[in-house]
Amino acid sequence: MFVLVTMWFFQNDIIYASAVPPNSRENVALPSQYGLESFEDVHIKTADKFVIRGYFIKRGSEEETKKADVVLLLHDYSGNMGHRLPIAKALYDTLKCNVFMLSYRGYGLSQGYTTEAGIKKDILAALGFLRSNPLTASSRIVIYGQSLGGAVAIDSVAEFQSEFSGLIVENVFKSLPEMFADTMPYVRWAKILVSDKWDSVKKLKQITKVPILFLLGEKDDYIPPEHTKELFEISRSYSNTKVEFCSFKDGRHNNTCLQEGYFERINKWWNENITTSDRYIQTNYFNKMTLKPVDEKSSIDSKSKSE
Ligand SMILES: *[C@@H]1O[C@H](CO)[C@@H](O)[C@H](O)[C@H]1NC(C)=O
Ligand SMILES: *[C@@H]1O[C@H](CO)[C@@H](O)[C@H](O)[C@H]1NC(C)=O
């Protein structure tokens, strides 16, 4: 029983390891340390008034930035956005895109305490930032997430399908309860104890019109590789559009992106599935003043009524 109670109490520290590696709440590397000179250190306020921090890494000129697409990069359960700058740089160089990345609330220099509901508000704030910025208001946004970040990415696309042109997920779990059930079977009640769910099985079924690329390290030592494979199969049967899968036989949880051909594979998918799609069509999904989503359905209804 002690184990269970302890786990309940500390579950947020297990799931959201923002203190690992040490000093992750104080030291956040800057893009310029990785040769990315053109960036904004962004402070955005969430709907519940926390200030979260992000980097908007832009192309060399305003004109190039406007023309380029955006990758929204979502990090895994430990560290902060600074630890993912090498990935941001590789995407920036390979895809010739802009990159927007953030530290979720409770991570890095972002305020607040991490929960599923809270991270969702952070994503909404980041989208509001991009859609209200003239440089990115009509850009294609492709979301890239590793592991927990992949779950956040799937949730975000399910929620705002018309805002995203593509989704890339790497080493994702079906849901937190199912991951704990598969990786800690001795804690049989973990399934019940975890209050945050990140239910990607449910959310993926709602994504029908956004191209998806699943990336997997076959030797993932943290999340059973079957999770990513099953999610791919689910997505393939529910989606009406392009769903691709690519696995790297020697990839482990934390080094799949270091495998040979990783970014080339993303680039190929990008060139064939993303740059051929339409630029974003302004849906007025975000109310410019409040940056809160306008109910898509009701705005369509009111339009047809006034016509
Ligand atoms: C990945 O994790 C292992 C321990 O599981 C560690 O030894 C290694 O340095 C890590 N690699 C990277 C690239 O972070
Ligand atoms: C999407 O990209 C993949 C490469 O990742 C390619 O094989 C596939 O044909 C593309 N799909 C379409 C419909 O263009």
Question: Between 183 and 248, whose confidence is greater?
Answer: 248
**Closest ligand 2 atom number to CA of residue 273:** 1
**How many Å apart are CA 265 and CA 263, to the nearest integer?**
5
Domain residue ranges of the chain, discontinuous segments joined by +: 1-274
Band of the pLDDT at 182, cuts 50, 70, 90?
Answer: confident
Question: Are the CB atoms for 256 and 215 separated by under 8 Å?
Answer: yes
Instruction: Give the length of the chain.
Output: 307
**pLDDT the model gives residue 102:** 98
Local confidence band at 179 (pLDDT 50, 70, 90 cut-offs): confident
pLDDT at 63 over 90: yes
CATH homologous superfamily of domain 1-274?
Alpha/Beta hydrolase fold, catalytic domain (3.40.50.1820)
Element (H, E) at 153: helix 148-159
Closest C-alpha residue for ligand 1 atom 14: 254
What atom of ligand 1 comes closest to residue 258's alpha carbon? 13
Rounded mean pLDDT of 60-69? 96
Nearest bound ligand to the CA of residue 219? 1
Query: Span 107-125, mean pLDDT?
Result: 95
Contact 190, 181 (CB under 8 A): yes
Task: Determine the distance separating the centroid of ligand 1 and the alpha carbon of 21, expressed in angstroms.
Answer: 12
71-101 residue pLDDT tens = 999 999 989 999 999 999 999 999 999 999 9
**Cα separation of 55 and 114, whole Å?**
19
Q: Give the span between the Cα atoms of 53 and 42, in whole angstroms.
A: 6
Of 269, 270, 274, the one to substitute when testing ligand 2's pocket (max ligand atoms within 8 A of C-beta) is 269
Smallest CA separation from ligand 1 atom 6, residue: 254
- As a whole number of angstroms, the distance between CA 13 and CA 284 comes to 38
Residues forming a β-bridge with 71: 99, 142
Per-residue pLDDT at 276: 82
d(CA 57, CA 44): 15
Residue of 20, 77, 220, 254 to test ligand 1 pocket, by largest number of atoms within 8 Å of CB: 254
pLDDT at 233 > cutoff 90? yes
- Rounded to whole angstroms, the Cα distance separating 264 from 279 reads 23
11-53: pLDDT as tens digits: 556 567 787 888 999 999 999 999 999 999 999 999 999 999 9
Distance 76 CA to ligand 2 centre (A): 27
Whole-angstrom distance between the N-terminal and C-terminal Cα of the chain? 63
Q: Please give the mean pLDDT across all residues of the chain.
A: 87
Instruction: Provide residues with CB under 6 Å of ligand 2.
Output: 242, 244, 268-269, 272-273
10 CB contacts (<8 Å, ≥6 apart)? none
- How many whole angstroms from 10 Cα to the centroid of ligand 2? 43
* pLDDT confidence tier of residue 6, bands split at 50, 70 and 90: very low
CA dist., res. 24 & res. 17, Å (int): 10
CA of 58 from ligand 2 middle (Å) equals 27
Strands 166-170, 51-57: pairing is unpaired
Q: Which atom of ligand 2 is nearest to the CA of 269?
A: 5
In angstroms, how far is CA 238 from the centroid of its own chain? 21
- What confidence tens digit (pLDDT) does each residue in 198-232 have? 999 999 999 999 999 999 999 999 999 999 999 99
Cα(260)–Cα(106) distance, integer angstroms: 33
Task: Say yes or no to pLDDT of 9 above 50.
Answer: no
- What distance in Å separates the CA atoms of residue 109 and residue 80, rounded to the nearest whole number? 8
27 vs 83: CA distance, rounded Å: 10
Q: What percent of the chain has pLDDT over 70?
A: 83
